Amino acid sequence: MTPPSQSRRGFLFRLGIGLNVLGAALVGIPVVGYIFGPARRRTDGQSWIGLGPIGAFPAGETRLATYENPVRVPWDGATAKIACWVRHIKGERFQVFAVNCAHLGCPVRWFAQSRLFMCPCHGGAYYEDGSRASGPPPRGLFEYEYRVRDGALWVRGGQLPTLSRPV
């Protein structure tokens, strides 16, 4: 039989090791999540989302469309709806633009009379093909990858565009 002081020392030693492991896990798990989280989101954030039948987008026109963000949580509410501009060129040729200005992200509006996208924040302007026309934006509008399947238009959505990570 072990003497009482030795068994108490062993217990305190094991308790110390356990507390150290617990402390390392409490500090380490958030750090690991912070480091590897963006890489995980990059791969699973995008998916193909239907925008509706192509008949809803007349050829030669640009129309606003919305889709439900595939990366959402229940309390997102109306903010889970993401807007995009759909330009139907002809046939199955489209361009789908993010509404966010390439300067600082304000939502751009389409003006059919002048055939320009205008940004209300700092006066950025884009031609109908999304290329930069004037103002502070450093590039044209961000474009979504799209495809036409069974008479419907689909876009690859699920992330907000940035200069370092276009859609």
- Closest Cα partner for 108 from 128, 91, 79? 128
Choose, by CB under 6 A, the member of 46, 97, 124, 154 that binds ligand FES: 124
Binding of residue 119 to ligand FES (CB under 6 A): yes
For the CB of residue 105, give the shortest distance to ligand FES in the complex, in Å.
6
Half-sphere exposure of 117 (CA within 13 A, CB side): 31
For the CB of residue 118, give the shortest distance to ligand FES in the complex, in Å.
9
Binding of residue 161 to ligand FES (CB under 6 A): no
Q: Is the four-CA dihedral 119, 124, 125, 130 of positive or negative sign?
A: negative
Q: Is the four-CA dihedral 100, 105, 111, 117 of positive or negative sign?
A: negative
Binding of residue 139 to ligand FES (CB under 6 A): no
Token pair, residue 156, equals 């690859």
Token pair, residue 61, equals 């026109």
Choose, by CB under 6 A, the member of 86, 103, 110, 126 that binds ligand FES: 103
96, β-bridge pairs: 86, 144
Binding of residue 116 to ligand FES (CB under 6 A): no
Binding of residue 109 to ligand FES (CB under 6 A): no
Question: By CB under 6 A, how many residues form the interface with ligand FES?
Answer: 11
Choose, by CB under 6 A, the member of 52, 70, 136, 166 that binds ligand FES: 136
- Greatest Cα pair distance, the chain, in angstroms, is 95
125, β-bridge pairs: 118, 134
Binding of residue 122 to ligand FES (CB under 6 A): yes
Positions 55 through 74 that interact with ligand FES (CB under 6 A): none
DSSP state of 151: T
Residues that bind ligand FES (CB under 6 A): 101, 103-104, 106, 119, 121-122, 124, 135-137
